Amino acid sequence: MKKARAPDHLERASVPWLLACAVSTAAPHTEHLPLWLSAIIGVALLLRTGLWLKNRPLPARWLLALVVVATTAGVYIEYRTLFGRDSGVALLTLFMALKPMEMNRRRDAVVIIMLGFFLLLTHYFYSQSIPTGLWLIASVTLLTATLIRLFGGPQPPVVIARHAAQLLLQALPFMLVLFLLFPRVSGPLWGLPQDAHSSRSGLPENIAPGSISELILNGAIAFRIRFTGTPPANSVLYWRGPVMDEFDGRAWKPAFLGRMASPQIEARGESIAYELTLEPHNQRWLLALDAPLELPQNATLSMRMQALAREPVRLRSRFTLRSSTDYRAGLEETQQILSASLQLPAKGNPRARTLAAGWQQKHSNPQAIAAEAQLLFRQENFVYTLNPPLLGENSIDQFLFETKSGFCEHYASTFVFLMRAAGVPARIVAGYQGGEFNPIDGYVVVRQSDAHAWAEIWIAGRGWVRVDPTAAIAPSRVEQGIAAALPEGETLPVMARIDLDWLRQLRFRWEAINNTWNQWVLGYNPDRQRELLSRFGLGDIDWRGMTALLSALCGLALLGITVWTLWQRPRTDAAHRAWQRFCKQLAKRGAPRREAWEGPLAYASRVASVRPDYGDIVHRAARCYAKARYGNADGASMPALREAVRQLPNRWRFF
């Protein structure tokens, strides 16, 4: 006799659904996992698929336990911990791949589905983009469909998928209510100290040969700007970042000068209002347009005219600022800052020092000395390139008199060195220059490839004056961007050299969509929530009122779904209701229970074979029901069914 299967037994046909769930939820994480771990996960899933195809038994539990211990030890060795974002995600992904190896009951299948739902959340630790969201929606639909297949039995895949989509659509109102009204919390998605804020690409804290040129190969967006009026020309868009005024012979860095008051900035032209959406870069720099006049409440202006946030920018943030591109600043600069802007190492670069000393003897005006340096760059066949030769100990001399090839940091560093050697206070400013206007959404996009370095000199009666030595070598860099300034053959991000108008328009549209997603979904912070509630007269609502409103709207959504579900419920006619009651009461009296798929005549035959004493009664009722339900609508079928029921013995009569 064939052994009966346990009620919790897993159907063989359900295994492909569960394996698809494992692949869907684990595969995107292979981008962040070490290669050896991704290989183990892939081999485990392929091996389980092969066992299913060949109908082979699962591996022994002791072998599986040994693999789990070994791979867990490997994760510990790789990350030096079993706690935190990266190691935790690695373990979850590993368990998702290994769990199917012991999957032979529905309970195991439910564990895989629940683990899949949880694992999907971890994808947002690494990416919150639109493609990630679409992938997760598809994966949630697959997990829900697998749950339906697991407990709903064999059905066409299209029917299962449609049912899963309907369930998710019913959850959509709750999702919208919770998204809009649930109290927003400012802070990182992941908060453990060892990896809460991984490093981001951005401007370096120190400037040395190659510091800025490394960023040029990165086409990622650094920030977006929406101007209140017409965007200014690219040639005046200097976005101010760190300021360096200490030189050790190789690199420039900010000097520690203590706490000082910010300089007075006098706007000489119209001010420019704009909203800046800054990508996280783990620094305090707000990269305001040079020079900032009005800052957000949580920002300050440093003594070097930097707009600084109170805390490092670790989340995508929006700031409203006002700047002027025509200004005077630092007219009454402190002697401490001026002295720091003249400091040079005691030794090194003798030829550059001699050249600058000659300019100092020739000119008493700092502007004339600066003009001499710019004239030198223009006339001596200097080359603007991302791939300059390596420089030795006397890097300024070697660049100025031998290689004559460099990027913006080479020219800014050499210019500031020459100015200081000639007695002119000078410093290096790092930031971004220019930007690309997106006509689709009206934002100016500044990328990491727009990173730039320039110089400032101090002139009595004028304060700090910007001088961009790169403009003397490659003026197109300031006017048209990095791609126009570099010679053919230089390595650049692919999108920076796009000349096809249709491809450029496609990129504009995609970035506009991404910007909308960032502004209104990922950027839906407490300020945006208060702004939305204020539009409905709820700007002063507290947490108690928010809870009540949230509960009321969720209740209304639940009521609406309930009404819709009842409205969609299949309606049965009188004959069908009478037949259902008949079968139910018959089963209570010891007759076999009718299956949902079983027709009336087939059921009557089965009852008669098991309980002959009920045969005449059930056959008579089945024929009347079949005629009333499926026969010609002559009006006599239903009364005949009722009459047949009335002829039942009293102890069976229930109509």
Tell me the C-alpha distance between 211 and 221, whole Å: 18
Tell me the C-alpha distance between 304 and 581, whole Å: 87
DSSP state, 235? Answer: G
Phi/psi at 312 (5° precision): -55, 145
Whether omega for the bond prior to residue 587 falls within 30 degrees of 0, making it cis, is no
CA triple 476-480-483, angle to 5 deg: 85
User: What six digits make up the tokens of 379?
Assistant: 């006339």
CB atoms under 10 Å from CB of 82, counted, come to 13
Q: Given the residues 29, 123, 281, 452, select the one marked as catalytic.
A: 452
Q: 3-state DSSP: the chain helix, strand, coil percent, rounded to 5?
A: 55, 15, 35
Please report where in the chains the tokens 């974002």 appear, as a residue: 85
User: What six digits make up the tokens of 591?
Assistant: 């007759």
CA atoms lying within 13 Å on the CB side of residue 287? 34
User: What six digits make up the tokens of 595?
Assistant: 């299956």
CA triple 328-333-339, angle to 5 deg: 130
CB atoms under 10 Å from CB of 333, counted, come to 17
β-pair partners for 290? none
DSSP state, 393? Answer: S
Question: b vs e for 282-291, b when ≥16 Cβ sit within 10 Å of the residue's Cβ?
Answer: ebbbbbbbbb
Task: Establish whether 408 is a catalytic residue.
Answer: yes
H or E segment at 530?
A: helix 526-535
481, 434 Cβ separation under 8 angstroms: yes
Task: Establish whether 468 is a catalytic residue.
Answer: yes
The helix/strand/coil state of 432 is strand
H or E segment at 254?
A: none
User: What six digits make up the tokens of 302?
Assistant: 């440093």
Tell me the C-alpha distance between 626 and 644, whole Å: 13
CA triple 262-267-269, angle to 5 deg: 160
Tell me which residue of 220, 224, 188 sits closest to 202, measured CA to CA.
220
Task: Establish whether 21 is a catalytic residue.
Answer: no
User: What six digits make up the tokens of 102?
Assistant: 């012991």
The helix/strand/coil state of 213 is helix
Q: Given the residues 408, 450, 583, 624, select the one marked as catalytic.
A: 408
325, 232 Cβ separation under 8 angstroms: yes
Tell me the C-alpha distance between 121 and 328, whole Å: 51
Tell me which residue of 74, 190, 34 sits closest to 123, measured CA to CA.
190
Q: Given the residues 245, 290, 450, 468, select the one marked as catalytic.
A: 468
Tell me the C-alpha distance between 221 and 517, whole Å: 15
User: What six digits make up the tokens of 135?
Assistant: 């992938």
245, 284 Cβ separation under 8 angstroms: no
User: What six digits make up the tokens of 472?
Assistant: 């003397």
CB atoms under 10 Å from CB of 362, counted, come to 11
Active site residues: 408, 452, 468
